[in-house]
Amino acid sequence: MSGWQGSSPGFVTRFDLIFRVPWRHLATIGESSFRRFPSKNMKKYLAEFVGTFWLVLGGCGSAVIAAGFPDVGIGLLGVSLAFGLTVMTMAFAIGHISGCHLNPAVSVGLCAAGRFPSSQLLPYIVAQVTGGIAGAAVLYLIASGKPGFDLSAGFASNGYGEFSPGKYSPASAFVCEVVMTLMFLVIILGATDKRAPQGLAPVAIGLGLTLIHLISIPVTNTSVNPARSLAVALFAGGGYLAQVWLFWVAPIAGALFGAIIYRTIGGKDDR
């Protein structure tokens, strides 16, 4: 073999030019393209998908699977804490990637407050809704494996009137969701302000969401998040799905009010 290579240097050179060099060039291009995929924005959307998946699976999962477990069920307090923990853990995990909104109302509120570009609002909402539905689907696969599982029990869905845990009226539910989301946005905007103590925002936001659930679970089963509400309502169906409109309108309205309030009280002092 060595004699053949020595007697045909021109052939070897032409072989390199025809085959090896182009393939090396293509490999370099491929590696560069792989590094650029997914794009920076796509990474944000994927992070929102994963985060909202975890919020629905962890938060709603605690309500469906663990809240009423005989003798050792976690109850209202445990479910409230579970929702707070899902947001807190994801804030630490993906906050530096996407901002960890996990909630169409939060994205709208941050946009209104000038903290989030409107050009990314729709992709964020799509990622949050699809991530929530995926989380609800996994929860359904798990929960339906128990004998006697019944979707008509609500599947952690939100509701008012006969579908409210405490049978609260539509007006009460609407006011509750507006005010709770308003305060959630004030907490988020304040905790993530550059003037706030650094590194503690996930804790403040997670505990804020826990408190919101402690207050409002009896009223609406606590939404403050349209993606979370739609995800489980799609599986529960019936009246829960018919009432899901309120859990889009009220949280988004509350988020807008929250943005206005924080821009008013949190604006820099001109003096």
> Which of 91, 89, 113, 111 has its CA nearest to residue 100?
91
Q: Does position 25 have pLDDT exceeding 90, yes or no?
A: no
Round to whole Å and give the CA distance between 104 and 52.
10
pLDDT tens-digit map of 42-77: 999 999 999 999 999 999 999 999 998 888 889 999
DSSP helix, strand, coil percent of the chain (3-state; round to 5):
75, 0, 25
CB 157 within 8 A of CB 150: no
Q: What is the pTM of this model?
A: 0.84
Q: Which of 83-92, 179-188, 194-203 has the lowest mean pLDDT?
A: 194-203
Taking only the tens place, the pLDDT of each residue in 136-153 is 999 999 999 999 899 988
Q: What is the pLDDT of residue 259?
A: 97
